[in-house]
Structure 1
Amino acid sequence: MGRDRDAGGRARSARPRDGLGRPLPYGARGVERQPEGVVRAPEESITQAQRLLDAGMPFHAHEVFEDAWKSGPADERALWRGLAQLAVGLTHAARGNPKGGGRLLLRGAGVVEASAPAHGLDRPGIVAWARGLAARVGAGGEVVDPAAEAPRLRG
């Protein structure tokens, strides 16, 4: 069986995924995936990502942040990359990988903290959330509920 490919011929798994981005068997019902390569206005990216985070879908929010990182202005790319790392960190913590989740949460927090203020994001609040969650999952190895732990991107 050949690799799944998108309309542009790039390798892209067609397997359905669950809310945390884990692949499911072909034919299973998954959640709708975020389209890749979408150029959104920053406000739309933040709104869409917050909606996904609140729904317990941080993997999918990461894809929104990744699009902003890849398509945004050079001076904002680090901020969007840091936000994507935070979403993946939350994903790992929810999947039961506290070590990987904590590491990504701390890395993303450092990137967001070092970034310039932009788009009304509550950078100090996001950084405090990430560091607090990293400490909790790292200390106890707890699996977290991603919806209950979703950060507030704006205060």
Structure 2
Amino acid sequence: MRTAVAEERDRRGDGRPEQSRPRDRTGRPLPHGTTGVPLTEEHEPATVEEALLLGVALWNDERLFEAHECLEHVWHAAPDADRDLWQGVIQVAVAGVHLQRDNLEGAVATFGKARRRLRRYPDVHRGIDVEQLVVFCEGAAAALEDAGAVIEVGFPEFPAMDDGPWFTPDPALLEPPGTPTPVPDGPAWRRRPRGTPTDPPEAGSR
């Protein structure tokens, strides 16, 4: 599911997709052959655990567009009980992308969406300091709205606790799984058999 950071493809005259253009670190497409600009890199983690560790490292390097792409693998593999947790974490990264793109309205709106999702969880969950993220979202959105412009809000490093972050496909498990979880082909709600009740994220929620 893609929204503000959606992938854009050039099209040939017959409508077929052209080769993807390079992107800057905020995910903006650049002309073919662009040089001298730090580019977004493609990442292909083999397991959800690898995707999570890579997403955290990219987040801490303020490569937030790439971080959100890696963390989507975690969200897609998450059980229903943790889906809003990981989507909320991703939305914080996406709000950071909006800041990097000087998009005030997008940043404020996405911080609000992230806060609403994350507040549904305990202060610490899956080795993540959820309370820290909620407080940051609230403070950043308020500061941006007061300023009426994109300002420095002190984007934090990933709020990992000593035992985390970690992923589990089983919400009852109180520690990381003993075996790696393969990266899924798509979100869990798209892989359910027909007729299974679902609760997909709202349109445009990311």
**Which TM class, normalised by the smaller chain length?**
0.7 to 0.9
Larger radius of gyration: 2
CA contact (8 A) 2:127 2:160 kept: yes
Structure 2: where are the runs of 5+ without partners?
1-11, 162-206
Aligned-partner SS, 1:86: helix
> Aligned-pair distance for 1:88?
0.6
Bigger share in helix: 1
Which structure 1 segments of 5+ residues have no match?
A: 5-12
Q: After TM superposition, give the deviation of residue 45 of structure 1 in Å.
A: 4.0
Query: 2 CA distance for matches of 1:152 and 1:73?
Result: 22
The whole-number CA distance in structure 2 between the counterparts of 1:151 and 1:108 is 16
Q: How does 1:3-152 map to 2 (within 5 A)?
A: 3-4=17-18, 14-29=20-35, 30-35=39-44, 39-41=47-49, 44-115=50-121, 117-140=124-147, 141-144=149-152, 149-152=155-158
CA 1:23–1:126 in structure 2 vs 1: closer, same or farther (change >3 Å)? same
Distance in 1 between the 2:42 and 2:152 partners?
A: 22
What's the TM-score, normalizing by structure 2?
A: 0.61
Question: Runs ≥4 in structure 1, deviation > 6 angstroms?
Answer: none
User: TM-score, with normalisation over the residues of structure 1?
Assistant: 0.79
Deviations 1:25-57 (A, max 9, x none): 12224231234x85412xx44432221112121
CA distance in 2: counterparts of 1:73 and 1:39, whole angstroms: 16
Could you tell me whether the CA contact under 8 Å between 1:17 and 1:23 is conserved in 2?
Answer: yes
Equivalenced residues, count: 142
How large is the Cα RMSD of the aligned pairs? 2.2
